[in-house]
């Protein structure tokens, strides 16, 4: 991982000075044996902020991902499937959103690495920003925006009387329902970039703390989180959560239509939202890919915001 901290960060689509410059490649790595993690951090084609790429690569290099994760993944998938079957056949539903909130916050503060915390908090913020971008630009003034923007682990529990994970999923479902019912909504017509409202696409300052006991990597943390969701939520809510990842087909399609940029569609792993179930048979992996799709879309929207500003200056 030598040299990763030299990868500079900057807003996409905007030319910024680059005070940190990587040394010549031959000086920081063995060209006959390139590092997998260095590649992830340095790859300029990945539509993720440079600083976040560095943190993701550092997180993936943790020993927990290499040695603990493979066995833990199998255990988690078994528990998730077992809980779904048990709750589906029981004549009553067992659930506790309060328990989900308490466990999520406790687990995040004590066992999730700082890099993984950042990715998870960013995802909650980014998905709300994507929902609001679509509501503002396609809703015709008839679609409400959401206000779920957690900046610390404590805000992944109960927020305004409801669990943040449940609110997170519900916001996207309600966006698409509202668009389908709003008389002036238009999700198909391309807009000029100068006509789109790119406001509120900046990332707030996140308050990240080092875990108190143990630092699990992102992949292991997501599988543990998925198990806790399956344990704490009733079967219909869990099924909705599993299928919520497939809403990315609609979200990315709308973004592609509004901006005229087909790139958004190319990132969706599952293109058939009316097929119910995990696209890969592995819900936590679907969640991980879902997070990455939204990171890509967020990066691209801010690039387009930069282009819109440039075009606006060029026409004045």
Q: How far is CA 285 from CA 73, 218, 299, 301, in A?
A: 10, 11, 21, 24
Least confident of 32-41, 126-135, 210-219: 32-41
Q: What percent of the chain has pLDDT over 90?
A: 83
Q: What percent of the chain has pLDDT over 70?
A: 90
For residue 24, pLDDT beyond 60: no
Cβ atoms of residues 145 and 132 within 8 Å: yes
| pLDDT the model gives residue 31 | 87
Does residue 281 come out as left (phi exceeding 0), alpha (psi in the -120 to 50 range) or beta? left
| pLDDT the model gives residue 16 | 43
- Three-state SS at 159: strand
What is this structure's pTM?
A: 0.90
Cβ atoms of residues 249 and 268 within 8 Å: yes
């Amino acid at each position: 991982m030598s040299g990763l901290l030299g990868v500079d960060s900057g807003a996409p689509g905007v030319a910024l000075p680059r005070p940190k410059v990587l040394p010549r490649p031959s000086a920081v790595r063995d060209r006959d044996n390139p590092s997998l993690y260095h590649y992830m951090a340095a790859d300029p084609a990945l539509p993720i902020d440079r600083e976040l790429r560095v943190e993701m690569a550092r997180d993936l290099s943790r020993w927990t991902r290499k040695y603990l994760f493979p066995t833990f993944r199998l255990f988690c998938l078994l528990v998730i499937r077992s809980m779904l079957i048990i709750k589906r056949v029981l004549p009553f539903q067992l659930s506790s959103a309060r328990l989900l909130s308490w466990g999520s916050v406790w687990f995040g503060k004590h066992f999730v690495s700082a890099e993984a915390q950042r990715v998870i908090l960013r995802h909650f913020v980014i998905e709300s920003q994507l929902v609001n971008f679509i509501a503002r630009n396609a809703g015709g003034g008839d679609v409400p925006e959401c206000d779920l923007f957690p900046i610390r682990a404590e805000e992944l529990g109960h927020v305004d009387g409801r669990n943040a994970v449940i609110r997170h999923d519900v916001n996207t479902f309600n966006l698409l329902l509202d668009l389908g019912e709003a008389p002036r909504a238009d999700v198909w017509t391309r807009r000029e970039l100068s006509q789109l409202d790119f406001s509120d696409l900046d990332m707030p300052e996140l308050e990240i703390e080092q875990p108190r006991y143990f630092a699990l990597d992102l992949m292991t943390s997501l599988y543990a989180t998925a198990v806790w969701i399956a344990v704490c939520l009733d079967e219909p809510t869990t099924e909705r959560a599993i299928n919520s990842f497939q809403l990315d087909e609609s979200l990315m399609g709308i973004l592609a239509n509004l901006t005229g940029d087909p790139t958004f569609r190319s990132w969706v792993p599952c293109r058939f939202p009316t097929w119910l179930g995990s696209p890969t048979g592995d819900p936590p992996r679907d969640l991980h890919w879902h997070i990455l799709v939204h990171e890509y879309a967020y990066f691209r929207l801010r690039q387009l915001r930069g282009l819109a500003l440039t075009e606006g200056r060029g026409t004045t």
